[in-house]
Structure 1
């Protein structure tokens, strides 16, 4: 289908310009002030009053549901297909958490395939908190090489729920992930859940000092409470991922604005931990409460950065679009609105609320209403 979005603001040439976006199939063909078109089957959308941004990329999503730290009744339900769409997320990376026993990499890959069939771009990570890592093929390297959806491995450090792996263990895991990525043209990342343990990034620095694994292969997340350590890691050239906080939106969004100015250009990403559990622990590491993260916090946080802290929209979206696209080797297909990029487009109204979402050129949400409906969702 050939589609023309007219009268919409797009950030290009260093400023927001009233523009037209022409898409054909799943690609953006052209963005310009005016695009004359005479196609018989042309669909035209009037974007008056709207601002177009790239579809968000959320690289930390528990698509099968997370949790379970308080027994079976505390397992978080899986992510519904409509939820990323309503949140403006057109690309996601699924992963496992604490539970690699009642949930599996096979289940994760199947759910990733389902999100692709629904119309979104989806990838996943093998492994979970534990080591040795649970896999689909019996090998982290083989999972990355032979399973299309798998682009890296997940592990946990500095957390009482982890396997308390050694620096030698992490070196071997990172080496397998790196080579698997090299052989398959994938990023081959080690995505590290970083807990509240002491000196949380020390194990990564130990590996960097005593091996040949590049810093780019390590992707620590949940770094907001470890901000100074995150800065040190980024200053050495590493990507740092900060998690949105739905319970403290104002302060977390303010921290993100600060990080955008202090983290080296392009190395900051943000994610939601969607459908992961948010357990509350006492001083004995006993769980005394639990809730779940929402994928909607990605856009809500970006909106807070703009409205509460005065961050320019084009700057606020970068950690969830261009930066993460480059980090996952998806740029320039993802993370930017430009000719040749995938037609992943989010239209925001004048209040920065999500009005419409296009994923690979297909209209998934229009005027706040779902246009594509999944089985079993009312």
Structure 2
């Protein structure tokens, strides 16, 4: 499929994420050339025109926690989830992913993760990654987290590092602190985020070690993204406290009672509670944990079942935030767009703005997915993928 250089999107209500009302958007190549109610197609060049009347257009979703090479394995080799497909990502409204490893940093490698990251970029979306996995010392490519972040363009931080979980390496506060220092300096020297993406489990210690680390070192709370913060009531309370003190709380859209996590707080409700308790809108993000396994454990920690998390939960929870919880659309949309872009230092992402990347998620008034553009390419039309990954069954 040949991508037209110019595309004019007409008549959508634009949340940039602020509400801009009805706008036309001109795409030139992979960038936004104009956002204006009167923007028109160039007269001397071919231009595809798409009517988006009665639609809502948002920045493409940025999913900061995705197991792009697969996850799981806690139930044995047969429970390792497969690599994610391009169309699974785009039909979730996602145009940018950050890949990570999880429990298994042995049979899945950071080099494999880098190769998949580059592959997704070649197939048409934007992709980045974290170096490392659950354990400490954590696996890397160059031998250190700091060097990986500095030298390898796609690596923007480290993660997902396990804390308060029976699957972690049970490291000390000092070991976590040393890792965060490596990531911080690596980010500074390479103008990257240097984020530490933290998997927070169901353990009784919750966020206590993160509070201790940031209270007794020079590492700021902003260096960490504790995720799965809605996995139980107590952790959500701690996450709200953390965010009110300046940290980021990352809600996981794929962790909910409906998905089998019976102790979890529904993501849309977790967001509402955070806002009602005084958390600044800029300190809340949401990711999917997409394509990771959803292991179910008994009281002694034995695996009794496993599922696969879907990125489609992100749009579902944004819809529920707006429709059910009555969170303002321009606030809810920030959680998966501009907030994430700012924290991860993705300077051309997360806003509908001239010169930014032409990444858009378009829904109808009921927030059902209609269209997706990634880097100026039309990836999803009328809710169906029209661009496929190299080895997908329906590849064009």
Paired residues for 1:329-368 under 5 Å: 329-331=345-347, 333-368=348-383
Given the superposition, is the C-alpha separation of residues 308 and 128 from structure 1 closer, same or farther in structure 2, using an over 3 Å criterion? same
Contact 2:251 2:267 in 1 (8 A): no
Partner of 2:179: 173
Q: Is the 8 A contact 1:57 1:90 kept in 2?
A: yes
Q: Deviations over 1:147-197 (max 9, x none)?
A: 111111111111110001101101110010111111111100111100111
> 1: distance between equivalents of 2:384 and 2:202?
40
Within 5 A, what are the aligned runs for 1:290-329? 290-329=306-345
1:375 equivalent to 2:390? Answer yes
CA contact (8 A) 1:305 1:311 kept: yes
User: Secondary structure of the equivalent of 2:320?
Assistant: helix
Q: Is 1:248–2:253 an aligned residue pair? A: no
1:192 and 2:202 are equivalent in the alignment: no
**In the TM superposition, what whole-angstrom CA distance separates every residue of 1:88-121 from its partner, at most 9, and x where no partner exists?**
1000100000001110001000000001001111
Q: Does 2:220 align with 1:214?
A: yes
Give the Cα separation in 2 of the matches to 1:64 and 1:329: 23
Deviation by residue 1:309-332 (Cα, 9 ceiling, x = unmatched): 22232222111011111110114x
CA distance, structure 2, for counterparts of residue 345 and residue 375 of structure 1: 22
Partners of 1:246 and 1:293 within 8 A in 2? no
Rounded to whole Å, the distance in 2 between the matches of 1:15 and 1:146 is 39
Q: CA deviation at 1:13?
A: 10
RMSD after superposition? 1.6
Is residue 45 from structure 1 mapped to residue 58 from structure 2 by the alignment?
no
| 2:96 equivalent to 1:91 | yes
Q: Distance in 2 between matches of 1:36 and 1:288?
A: 58
2:16–2:59: 8 Å Cα contact kept in structure 1? no
In 2, the alpha carbon distance for the partners of 1:275 and 1:103 equals 14
TM-score scaled to structure 1, two decimals?
A: 0.96
- 1:78 corresponds to: 83
User: In the alignment, is the contact (CA less than 8 A) between 1:345 and 1:357 conserved in 2?
Assistant: yes
User: Where do 5+ consecutive residues of structure 2 fail to align?
Assistant: 260-264
Structure-1 separation of matches of 2:304 and 2:89 = 29
Shift of 1:57: 0.5
**SS, match of residue 266 in structure 1:** helix
- The aligned counterpart of 2:262 is none
Give how far 1:334 is off: 1.0
User: Is the Cα contact below 8 Å between 1:257 and 1:316 reproduced in 2?
Assistant: no
TM-score normalised by the chain length of structure 2? 0.92
